[in-house]
Amino acid sequence: MRPSLFWRLLPLAALCLLLSACGGKAATPFDPAATAQALQDSGAFSEPLESMSQDLACGTLYAIDSADVTGCAVYTTPTAGAEEIAVFTLVDEDAAKSALDALTQRVADQKEALENYQPDEVSKLDNAILEQRGNSVLLAVAADADAAQKALDALK
């Protein structure tokens, strides 16, 4: 007597469930202060960065609704260069998606602004790191994007 199709597929279904349960872990959201410090310590930036207030960062640089932000760390270059770090924790994942869109727009705007008078900075923007982890987002524009990414990978 041949086993029914159900009994033949049952082990495969159990394996699929097991594999999907193992791979379903979401990345831990960024901690703004710790993430910004790890990036600064990575040696990825060619010059010192200066801290910026949440209100100024949200309103002037990124067009992010400050009411949606529960924490942030923003550092920019004191010169007219492209290097910066922006890490935001937001009220929920939808707000984080909107913030990621705003950070992506920031990179596009900076490319346009710098392409004619500081073309060396555009390559940094081409390698910008933009990432969302749960209700947090990150933008890192560094001289050494690989070093910045290694610092971020160590935080996972």
Convert the pLDDT of each residue in 106-126 to its tens digit.
999 999 999 998 999 999 999
Residue 128 has pLDDT above 70, yes or no: yes
Q: In this structure, is residue 79 part of a structural domain?
A: yes
Regarding predicted confidence, which is higher, 103 or 22? 103
Q: In this structure, is residue 15 part of a structural domain?
A: no
Q: In this structure, is residue 39 part of a structural domain?
A: yes
> Where in the sequence is the domain holding 71, given as residue range(s)?
25-153
Q: In this structure, is residue 122 part of a structural domain?
A: yes
- Give the whole-angstrom CA distance, residue 54 versus residue 68: 11
Q: In this structure, is residue 11 part of a structural domain?
A: no
- Torsional sign, CA 17, 21, 22, 23: positive
Q: In this structure, is residue 51 part of a structural domain?
A: yes
What is the rounded average pLDDT of the residues 129-133? 97
* Total of domains in the chain: 1
Q: What is the mean pLDDT of the chain?
A: 87
The model scores a pTM over 0.85: no
Residue 24 has pLDDT above 80, yes or no: no
Residue 141 has pLDDT above 80, yes or no: yes
| Predicted local distance difference test score (pLDDT) of residue 134 | 96
pLDDT in tens, 45-90: 999 999 999 999 999 999 999 999 999 999 999 988 999 999 999 9
Q: In this structure, is residue 29 part of a structural domain?
A: yes
What is the rounded average pLDDT of the residues 12-25? 42
| Predicted local distance difference test score (pLDDT) of residue 12 | 42
Task: Locate 143 and state its tokens.
Answer: 């001289």
**Across 23-27, 74-78, 96-100, 127-131, least confident range:** 23-27
